[in-house]
Amino acid sequence: MEEKSSVSPMVLVHRPPAIDFIDEPLSHSFTLLYTHTSPVPIPHFLSSHAASVRAVVSVGRLPMTAEFISNLPSLEIVVCASVGFDHVDLDECKRRRIAVTNAGNAYGEDVADLAVGLLIGVLRRVPALDRYIRSGQYTRLWDYPFGFKLSKKKVGIVGLGSIGSLVAKRLEPFGCIISYNSRSLKPGVPYLYHTDILSLAADNDVLILCCSLTDETQHIVNREVMETLGKYGVIINIGRGGLMDEKEMVKCLMEGMIWGVGLDVFENEPEVPEELFSLENVVLSPHSAGMTLGSLGNVTEFVLTNLKAFFSDQPLIFPVQLD
């Protein structure tokens, strides 16, 4: 196998201008090239300056299309600083035999925490009560709408992977009754398994979406699922915006078909349906579930580990299976 150069390797960092947490740690080991600083269109920049780049670090889930990848003829690895990798054209990576890694469990604990926080926020109307106090309306006791208790709620988790499992463990002390739907039954898991999401919705008060966005899970929560969940149902989405039919979700909320939602993700980010802004039974978060100093430290460590492993012909951590 060809030996990697001892010279500081060049790494292309593909990120939004404001997300710079990874720059300084990477700069100690690699020569960095950035797409966001280019004064010319990205394709021209790549073909002119990045033809020899073998590794790309993808931060902030900016699209890496087949066209983008085609301008990097020497590319051998894409290191995603995210758990999701639907922004990368995996078919093109597979065709080119380009390795892809993700952030594994870097964000898991914090994402699970926010899922529970959103659920409590919706059930107990925490943001609405905060606005009530700040508006000066708090002039007498009990003059505000009541919420619902979390204790002993029946909660259905869509996608019982690493994050879904962490959410379930956090809900157990509340006495919640957990069930789940995943691609297959999880051996040894002490929760009831539902083979389809409709039966999961029919049997629960709450749905928490933790699965990946794929062709199969696009709009997995449609109007039929929401109607099945019912008028006291709550949906929490910390997965991807495309898991829900957002237009139908807005209609169901406006019509009282479901009771409330807590959303960290949206279909067309950063666009958010304006109808949600005035609804007291909606809690919104700007795709920030994993944005803590602890999680960003984990991600930085994983990215550095994968890059160093790649440039020294060592096994990668958290490789994405392309077959």
Do the domains at 10-106+293-311 and 108-284 have one common CATH topology?
Answer: yes
Q: What is the 3-state secondary structure (H, E, C) of 238-269?
A: CCCHHHECHHHHHHHHHHCCCCEEEECCCCCC
Which listed residue (67, 224, 255, 269) is catalytic?
A: 269
For the segment 23-29, the average pLDDT, to the nearest whole number, is 96
Q: Distance between alpha carbon 202 and the CA centroid of its chain, in Å?
A: 25
Whether residue 95 lies in the annotated active site: no
Radius of gyration of the chain (CA): 22
Q: Kindly report the pTM of this predicted structure.
A: 0.86
Residue 7 above 80 pLDDT? Answer: no
Residue 52 above 70 pLDDT? Answer: yes
147 contacts: CB under 8 Å, gap ≥ 6: 123, 124, 125
pLDDT tens digits, 29-48: 999 999 999 888 888 899 88
- What is the CATH code for 108-284? 3.40.50.720
135 CB-contact burial (10 Å; exposed 0-12 / middle 13-18 / buried 19+): exposed
| Strand bridging mode 55-58 / 154-158 | unpaired
For the segment 61-77, the average pLDDT, to the nearest whole number, is 95
Whether residue 15 lies in the annotated active site: no
CA distance 178 to 197: 14
pLDDT tens digits, 138-184: 988 888 888 999 999 999 999 999 999 999 999 999 999 999 999 99
Which listed residue (240, 246, 248, 267) is catalytic?
A: 240
151 phi and psi angles, rounded to 5 deg: -50, 130
Do 34 and 27 form a contact (C-beta atoms < 8 A)? Answer: no
Q: Which residues of 163-191 are buried (b: 16+ CB within 10 A; e: fewer)?
A: bbbbbbebbeeeebbbbbbbeeeeeeeeb
Q: Where are the domains of the chain?
A: 10-106+293-311, 108-284
Q: What mean pLDDT, rounded, does the chain reach?
A: 94
pLDDT score for 145 = 81
Residue 113 above 80 pLDDT? Answer: yes
Residue 200 CB neighbours (<10 A): 22
Q: Distance between alpha carbon 226 and the CA centroid of its chain, in Å?
A: 21
Write down the CATH superfamily of domain 10-106+293-311: NAD(P)-binding Rossmann-like Domain (3.40.50.720)
Whether residue 267 lies in the annotated active site: no
What is the three-class DSSP state of 166? Answer: helix
For the segment 115-141, the average pLDDT, to the nearest whole number, is 94
pLDDT tens digits, 277-318: 999 999 999 999 999 999 999 999 999 999 999 999 999 999
Which listed residue (36, 96, 287, 301) is catalytic?
A: 287
Describe the chain by its helix, strand, coil percentages, rounded to 5. Answer: 35, 15, 50
